[in-house]
Amino acid sequence: MLEEEVAVKVAIIAGGMGTRMQEETKTKPKALVTLGGRPIMWHMMKYFGHYGLSDFVIALGYKGDAIKDYFCQSSQSSENIQPSGQSQGSDVFTADPAVWTTQMIDTGADTQNGGRLRRLADHLQDGTFFMTYCDSLMDAVPQNLIDFHKSHGRLATVIVVNPRSRFGFAELEGDQVLRFSEKPLLTDRWISTGYFILEPGIFDYIDGDDAEWSYDCLPRLASDGQLMAYRHKSFWRCMDTAKEREALEQIWADTTPPWKVWE
């Protein structure tokens, strides 16, 4: 559970078209692509909820009504997610016993992901918050991430991991192959997991709906010395393609999934 006196909100950017998973996203948003029979967004929210982060603000866009319908249907099933009215144009649901409060904000069909985050600003002004896309899972303990973020005092922390090479590497001596590494971990490189811890001051770095978070906003934060990196060295996987989804399905079916921290 978090030690924070003020609840830390979780912003989920769930408005993109998921073009690299068109076989799935022609009929539903990427957030509702299933893993083990449940939407990936459900897995993400269960993970955060286990650690006491249960106040979600979701940026809707492409097929956003399908996400609203999912919560409405869940409110009539064993999920026990109950509608609790509307707030500032958003649909709000409260889940019990999971105790999820979910605000769903329509951020426009064509808005870029930085712009989507900016449109959530009115709901994220209370203090430190998490932000993530709806396409990856990890096993980091949120309190550790928050402690690191608080320790440096900057506006933004990105959680980074070592990437795995797409190809095998041959180590040569002359023309002789000494050894061969199949898709090794690149320990001298770091990539973004798509998970961030942010302060409301980051909204000054987002100019409008056309702002792209990774290409427009993060470079500006870095240039001003306002972006720090937390090196996560345990489990993280993205679900950006059908192949990556199949790999996560295999982890879910064959082992104890590292992200399944809940009972």
List pLDDT tens digits, range 51-84: 999 999 999 998 899 998 888 776 544 444 444 4
Look at 110-114, 131-135, 175-179, 257-261 and tell me which has the smallest mean pLDDT: 175-179
Judge whether residue 136 has pLDDT over 80: yes
| 3-state class (DSSP) for residue 100 | strand
Of 165, 156, 158, 29, nearest to 104 by C-alpha is 29
- Going by C-alpha positions, the residue among 99, 24, 31 that lies closest to residue 68 is 31
pLDDT at 71: 81
Q: Is there a contact between 95 and 47 (Cβ–Cβ < 8 Å)?
A: no
pLDDT at 101: 85
199-257 tens-digit pLDDT: 999 999 999 999 999 999 999 999 999 999 999 999 999 998 989 999 999 999 988 89
Domains of the chain: 9-161+187-254 (3.90.550.10)
- pLDDT top residue among 142 and 24: 142
| pLDDT at residue 18, rounded to an integer | 67
Give me the percent of the chain exceeding a pLDDT of 70.
Answer: 84
